[in-house]
C-alpha cells in the first residue's frame, strides 16, 4: 500500500489526475496500490504526518516543506500540483466587486485569520490603487466560507480557492466573480508540493519515479478528457453535483501545466522568489538563510519526473558512529 495524504479535509478537482490514474490502472501497471487519504489536522498537518512516517507521500505548502528539514526525516518535493497559487477573492456580480480596489468598504472574510492572506490582500488592494484601511476584514474562526456566505449576506467577499468554493452556490456559475492574487502579480507561487521523506526517496527512487510517471499520465488524460476526470472523482465526492465538479475542473485544469504543457514541474526561480517574499514580510517558518540552504540542497527537485533534465540529489551519507 502506497499511502498519499491530500492537503485538504476532502479531495477536490485538483486531485483529478491522481484519481484518474488510479481508476485507469496506471499505478497498478507499476505494482502500486495507492490509497488517498484526507482529513482534519487534529494530529498534525500533512507535513507533520509525513515527517513522522505516517504516510509515504503528502501534499504540503512550501513553508511547511522548508520547516521540515531534519536529516533523514527531511521532506523533499518531487513535483508541484499547480503552476500558480490557488487563492484569491471570491464574490458574485451582485456585490459590485469587479477588481481589488472595489473591496473598499466591503466585508472580506479571511479563512482562519491566516496572516499571509492579510498581507496578500493588502498588497493586492494597494497595487490596484485602493485604500486597504477601508476594507473590513472578518476572521471566521475555523470555518472556511464558500460562495454561499456571500449569497446569505454573511460577507461581501472572501478569500479561498478560486477554483472550488465559487461553484458551491445556488446562483448560476456566470454570476461568480474571482480575483486571483496572481492576476495582479502578488506573491506568485506554486500552491502545493508533492513530497516524500528523504529516507523514503533514498530507498525507493524508482518507486517515486513510477508514481510520478503514472500521475503525469493521469493529469494528461484529465486535461484531454475532463469527463473522465469527473467520473473518477465522483465516487469520492458523491455529495457534489457533477456540474459543480465539471465547472471546477475546467477552472483548475490550466494551472496544472508548465509552458511546455507538462504537469509537475517546479519553477525554481518562482520558489526562491516566493521564499524571499515570505521572509521579507515575516511569514517564513525558518530563517531565510536556512531556507535558501535547503533549496540549494535540492529540497525541491524535478529530477524524478518523466521530463526530468536535472540530476537526482545524491543519497544522504550515513556516517558510522562508534
Report pLDDT digits (tens) over 295-312: 999 999 999 999 876 777
Checking if the pLDDT of 254 tops 90, the result is yes
Checking if the pLDDT of 160 tops 70, the result is yes
**Within a domain: residue 319?**
no
Rounded to 5°, the CA angle 225-196-14 comes to 25
**Mean pLDDT across the stretch 198-213?**
97
pLDDT digits (tens, 9 = 90+) for 74-125: 999 999 999 999 999 999 999 999 999 999 999 999 998 889 999 999 999 9
Confidence of residue 42 (pLDDT cuts 50, 70, 90): very high
Does residue 78 contact residue 304 with C-beta atoms inside 8 Å?
yes
Please give the pLDDT value at position 322: 56
Checking if the pLDDT of 16 tops 90, the result is yes
194 and 292: one domain?
yes
Please give the pLDDT value at position 120: 97
CATH number at residue 109: 3.40.190.10
Does residue 301 contact residue 312 with C-beta atoms inside 8 Å?
yes
77 and 96: one domain?
no
Please give the pLDDT value at position 312: 77
Does residue 60 contact residue 7 with C-beta atoms inside 8 Å?
yes
Confidence of residue 315 (pLDDT cuts 50, 70, 90): confident
**Mean pLDDT across the stretch 273-282?**
98
174 and 214: one domain?
no
**Within a domain: residue 44?**
yes
Does residue 11 contact residue 237 with C-beta atoms inside 8 Å?
yes
126 and 240: one domain?
no
Domain end point (choices 184, 213, 231)? 184
Checking if the pLDDT of 318 tops 90, the result is no
**Within a domain: residue 56?**
yes
Question: What are the distances in angstroms from CA 37 to CA 54, 110, 207, 208, 215?
Answer: 11, 26, 19, 18, 16
Name the CA dihedral angle for 279, 53, 211, 68, rounded to a multiple of 10 degrees.
10
Cell of 84: 500558480
- Please report where in the chains the cell 466587486 appears, as a residue: 97
Please give the pLDDT value at position 266: 97
**Mean pLDDT across the stretch 160-177?**
95
Whole-structure pTM value = 0.95
Domain end point (choices 184, 216, 250)? 184
**Mean pLDDT across the stretch 201-221?**
97
- Please report where in the chains the cell 526517496 appears, as a residue: 201
Confidence of residue 146 (pLDDT cuts 50, 70, 90): very high
Checking if the pLDDT of 320 tops 70, the result is no
Please give the pLDDT value at position 311: 73
**Within a domain: residue 205?**
yes
pLDDT digits (tens, 9 = 90+) for 45-69: 999 999 999 999 999 999 999 999 9
264 and 121: one domain?
no
Domain end point (choices 126, 154, 184)? 184
Please give the pLDDT value at position 112: 84
**Within a domain: residue 304?**
no
Checking if the pLDDT of 291 tops 70, the result is yes
**Within a domain: residue 305?**
no
77 and 196: one domain?
yes
Please give the pLDDT value at position 313: 78
Collapse the DSSP code of 104 into the 3-class scheme (helix H, G, I; strand E, B; otherwise coil) and give the result.
coil
Q: How many structural domains compose the chain? A: 2
The overall average pLDDT reported for the chain is: 95
Residues in the chain: 322
Confidence of residue 17 (pLDDT cuts 50, 70, 90): very high
**Within a domain: residue 35?**
yes
Please give the pLDDT value at position 113: 81
**Within a domain: residue 312?**
no
Percent of the chain with pLDDT over 70: 97
Q: Which domain holds residue 195?
A: 2-84+190-296
Higher per-residue pLDDT: 112 or 248: 248
11 and 126: one domain?
no
Amino acid at each position: 500500500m502506497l499511502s498519499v495524504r491530500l492537503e485538504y479535509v476532502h479531495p477536490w478537482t485538483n486531485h483529478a489526475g491522481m484519481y484518474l490514474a488510479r481508476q485507469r490502472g496506471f499505478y497498478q501497471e507499476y505494482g502500486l496500490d495507492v490509497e488517498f487519504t484526507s482529513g482534519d489536522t487534529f494530529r498534525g498537518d500533512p507535513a507533520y504526518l509525513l515527517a513522522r512516517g505516517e504516510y509515504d507521500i503528502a501534499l504540503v505548502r512550501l513553508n511547511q516543506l522548508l520547516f521540515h528539514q531534519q536529516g533523514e526525516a527531511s521532506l523533499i518535493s518531487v513535483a508541484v500540483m499547480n503552476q500558480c497559487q490557488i487563492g484569491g477573492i471570491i464574490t458574485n456580480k451582485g456585490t459590485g466587486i469587479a477588481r481589488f480596489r472595489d473591496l473598499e468598504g466591503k466585508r472580506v472574510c479571511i479563512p482562519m485569520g491566516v496572516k499571509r492572506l492579510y498581507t496578500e490582500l493588502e498588497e493586492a488592494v494597494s497595487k490596484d490603487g485602493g485604500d486597504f484601511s477601508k476594507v473590513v476584514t472578518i476572521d471566521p474562526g475555523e470555518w472556511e466560507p464558500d460562495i454561499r456566505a456571500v449569497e446569505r449576506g454573511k460577507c461581501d467577499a472572501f478569500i479561498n480557492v478560486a477554483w472550488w468554493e465559487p461553484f458551491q452556490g445556488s446562483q448560476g456559475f456566470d454570476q461568480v466573480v474571482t480575483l486571483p492574487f496572481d492576476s495582479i502579480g502578488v506573491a506568485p507561487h506554486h500552491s502545493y508540493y508533492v513530497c516524500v521523506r528523504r529516507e523514503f526517496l533514498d530507498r525507493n527512487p524508482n518507486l517515486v519515479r513510477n508514481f510520478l510517471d503514472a500521475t503525469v499520465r493521469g493529469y494528461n488524460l484529465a486535461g484531454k478528457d475532463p469527463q473522465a476526470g469527473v467520473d473518477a472523482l465522483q465516487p469520492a465526492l458523491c455529495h457534489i453535483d457533477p456540474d459543480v465538479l465539471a465547472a471546477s475542473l475546467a477552472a483548475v485544469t490550466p494551472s496544472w501545466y508548465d509552458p511546455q504543457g507538462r504537469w509537475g514541474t517546479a519553477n525554481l526561480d518562482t520558489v526562491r522568489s516566493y521564499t524571499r517574499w515570505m521572509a521579507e514580510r515575516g511569514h517564513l517558518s525558518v530563517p531565510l538563510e536556512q531556507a535558501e540552504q535547503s533549496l540549494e540542497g535540492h529540497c525541491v527537485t524535478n529530477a524524478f519526473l518523466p521530463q526530468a533534465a536535472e540530476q537526482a540529489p545524491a543519497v544522504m551519507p550515513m556516517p558510522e558512529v562508534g
